[in-house]
Structure 1
Amino acid sequence: MSILKEPLFHFFLLGVAIFGWFSYLNPSQSEPASGDQIVVDMQDINRLIDQFQSTWQRPPTPQELEELQEAFLRQEVLVREARALGLDWGDSIIRSRLAQKMEFLTLSLAQASEPDDATLQAHLAENSARFLRPERVAFQQVAMGPSPDAERINEVLDALNGGADPALFAGPSMLPNALPLSSPQKVDATMGRGFHAALIEMPEGQWVGPVPSGFGYHLVWIESREPAHLPAFDDIREEVLFDWRSNLKSDLSEAQFDTLKEKYDLITPSPEDITRRLNQ
Structure 2
Amino acid sequence: MIFLFRQPFLHFLLIGILLFALQHYQGLAKTYQLASLDEGATQLLVDDFFSMTARMPAPSDMKKLVAKELDKRILFAEGLRLNFHRDDSVILQRLLRNAIFLGFEGSDKEKIRAAFELGIHESDEVIRARIVQRMASVGRSHATGTPTDAELMDLYQADLSAWQEPARYTFEHLFFSVDREQEPVERAALAFEQLQADSSPQGLGDIFLPGTQFSAKSLRDVASIFGVSFSEYFNSKEFLLKVWQGPIASVFGQHIVRVTAIDPVQQQDFNAVRRELAQRWQEEQENAAFEAYLAQLRGRYRVTTDGELQ
TM-score class, shorter-chain normalisation, is 0.5 to 0.7
Find the residue that maps to 1:268 and give its secondary structure: strand
* In the alignment, structure 1 residue 262 sits paired with structure 2 residue 293: no
Q: Choose the corresponding residue for 2:206, options 158, 164, 171.
A: 171
For 2:226 and 2:135, locate their aligned partners in 1 and report how far apart those are by CA, in whole Å. Answer: 46
TM superposition score normalised by structure 2:
0.51
**What corresponds to 1:102 in structure 2?**
135
Contact kept? 1:175, 1:191, Cα under 8 Å: no
Q: Choose the corresponding residue for 1:158, options 191, 194, 197.
A: 197
Q: Deviations over 1:14-67 (max 9, x none)?
A: xxxxxxxxxxxxxxxxxxxxxxxxxxxxxxxxxxxxxxxxxxxxxxxxxxxxxx
**What corresponds to 2:146 in structure 1?**
114
Q: Percentage identity across aligned positions?
A: 22
Measured on the aligned residues, the alpha-carbon RMSD in Å equals 3.2
Alpha-carbon spacing, 1:263–1:210, altered in 2? closer, same or farther (3 Å) = closer
Find the residue that maps to 1:206 and give its secondary structure: coil
**What corresponds to 1:210 in structure 2?**
247
Find the residue that maps to 1:197 and give its secondary structure: helix
For 1:100 and 1:144, locate their aligned partners in 2 and report how far apart those are by CA, in whole Å. Answer: 49
Give the superposition deviation at 1:195.
0.8
**Number of equivalent positions:** 186
**What corresponds to 2:221 in structure 1?**
186
TM superposition score normalised by structure 1:
0.55
Alpha-carbon spacing, 1:158–1:188, altered in 2? closer, same or farther (3 Å) = farther
Alpha-carbon spacing, 1:226–1:255, altered in 2? closer, same or farther (3 Å) = same
Q: Deviations over 1:52-99 (max 9, x none)?
A: xxxxxxxxxxxxxxxxxxxxxxxxxx59x949x756786245555444
Alpha-carbon spacing, 1:178–1:90, altered in 2? closer, same or farther (3 Å) = closer
* In the alignment, structure 1 residue 91 sits paired with structure 2 residue 126: no
Give the superposition deviation at 1:196.
1.5
For 1:171 and 1:99, locate their aligned partners in 2 and report how far apart those are by CA, in whole Å. Answer: 52
**What corresponds to 1:141 in structure 2?**
173
**What corresponds to 1:253 in structure 2?**
290
Give the superposition deviation at 1:102.
2.9
